[in-house]
Structure 1
């Protein structure tokens, strides 16, 4: 006889809400939010006045949570921005068991900074990685990052979410490593996360024309436009920004991974999910690079 997983998931959702972390349903045994994408919104019911994103639907209300998790064994998403959290995601390498994982890279990062590995509430992920939870610094509105701290290290803040403990996927379960308290985000980590993206671009290549001031300014402007896009225009703004920056990738003025990271973080800051951002960015960059010859190529 298979046990009903709903009571355990409901208890975990209520526990997260009791900590002040707004939660929302993810698909059963999956990491994707329930509901429809913005471009498929029927503009009826809860969306009658406009599409409601998973971040807007996240709640700490026990009655709403009980109603949702009584229907199906939903996995649990925590909206990190409204929860006042910054979660450091230490991932596992895919396909290369000998490659350093995110935890190893993070340990080396701490050692180089002369800092101990922070002690805080942590969750073992289904893939064998770790989520390290921190309270966000007062007055700061941090966005998501991908690889800014190092390979296989992402962060989730405003515009992002994490899968909560007690959720399960075909790869395994998310398990809290004890009920420990959530520590404040260390100042040295905050400094690394808030370092200006333009500075990173300017240092990314040895040749002056590879990271020109114009290219850095364009990256900053397009990313800001995407992050500030309103509902109904986010996908269009992201597509236009990726096509514009693709010309600078083709010319060699911007590295493609830097552009992808900046646009993905900006899209998530605007309320899109990573799964919604990635295909738009990839296809738009591919199109732009194919239609804009690089240096030394015939027009």
Structure 2
């Protein structure tokens, strides 16, 4: 029997009680257990599921920062022999906390230390902040400054009470300051917000002139308009439906797959999905549509296209 059976479970339940979705990390490690995939989607605040997970083993605890509405500033300390890069080789700069303080000073950002703080296994610090509502900041690795990472969407942090024993350092994550996370300072949000990428010109979908071309152009335009007007909360579902409908025509040989794929992915990104999210949804819709290929035929009386299901 483990000497500390309730400790990780209690830590997981405590994090969930704060509104932070959690998931298992391997015992003594910072990574999820082998075969535990899609951790950001599977992270949960449900006590029943949490108890079921931690009943299996005394896993460490991961907090999915994006779904938790958190931005965590990870201020590390240098490893033995690690030297700062030239731009940070300055008097008084010895670790990530010093770099962070200097960045805030340079940018005129009030240094907000009155927030939830965790001491990491190697002596660094995690500063927990709440993300501005409705935002999706990505995680970063060193882009803010030397020995500074940030964890938001696409990232996670090791929760307090987790014990990590790895070759580069062993120790327990412990709470330094048990207060509510402070709001992320707006000026700091601006530093972390990625530079907008200019929208690309919509991909042209070539439709050769033929007796079906007018119908195909209208069908394509109808589906793209339907996608562009998707309401919040319906983005993935609408993109999937659009991809499935056009996927039927692609499978029947009426539309080219690659340009339609790129056009739909652009539409998904324009709605606020990441490119990876949009690509997965489009691929899934195409697979669904391929089950019912539409091959266009021409009515002898009306001379208009009709669709025929493949047998």
Q: TM-score, normalised by structure 2?
A: 0.58
Give the superposition deviation at 1:3: 6.0
Alignment of 1:191 with 2:190, yes or no, is yes
Residues 15 and 62 of structure 1: CA distance in aligned 2, closer, same or farther (over 3 Å): same
Aligned to 1:59: 44
- Partners of 1:231 and 1:95 lie apart in 2 by 45
Greater shift after overlay, 95-104 or 53-62? 95-104
Shift in CA distance, 149/169, structure 1 to aligned 2, threshold 3 Å: same
Asked if the contact 2:115–2:177 (Cα under 8 Å) also holds between the matched residues in 1, the reply is no
- Cα deviation for residue 198 of structure 1 reads 6.5
Equivalent position to 1:84, from 66, 69, 72 = 69
| Consecutive unaligned residues in structure 1, runs of 5 or more | 38-51, 200-223, 234-299
**2:151 matches 1:101:** no
Q: How does 1:39-188 map to 2 (within 5 A)?
A: 53-96=38-81, 99=84, 100-118=94-112, 119-170=114-165, 171-188=170-187
Matches within 5 A, 1:197-216: none
Q: More strand per residue: 1 or 2?
A: 2
> Does residue 14 of the first structure (1) align with residue 64 of the second (2)?
no
* CA drift at 1:229: 3.8
Residue 230 of structure 1, aligned match among 280, 293, 299: 280
8 Å Cα contact 1:6/1:69 also seen in 2: no
Q: Tell me if the contact between 1:86 and 1:155 (Cα under 8 Å) persists in the aligned partners.
A: yes
Structure 1 pair 147–227 and aligned structure 2 pair: CA distance change class (3 A): farther
Contact map agreement 1:81 1:157 (CA 8 A) in 2: yes
Q: CA deviation at 1:155?
A: 0.7
Match of 1:293 in 2: none
Give the Cα–Cα distance (whole angstroms) in 2 for the partners of residues 105 and 175 of structure 1.
22
Secondary structure of the residue aligned to 2:51 is helix
Distance 1:229 1:150, change over 3 A: farther
Deviating runs (4+, > 6 A) in structure 1? none
Task: Check the 8 A contact 2:75/2:97 in 1, yes or no.
Answer: yes
TM-score (norm 1): 0.60
Following TM superposition, by how much is the alpha carbon of 1:115 offset from its aligned partner in structure 2, in angstroms? 3.0
1:33 aligns with 2:32: yes
The 1:197/1:152 distance shift into structure 2, 3 A limit, reads farther
Distance 1:163 1:174 in 2: 7
Taking only aligned residues, the RMSD between alpha carbons, in angstroms, comes to 2.7
Structure 2 equivalent of residue 279 of structure 1: none
Displacement of 1:6 after TM fit?
Answer: 2.3
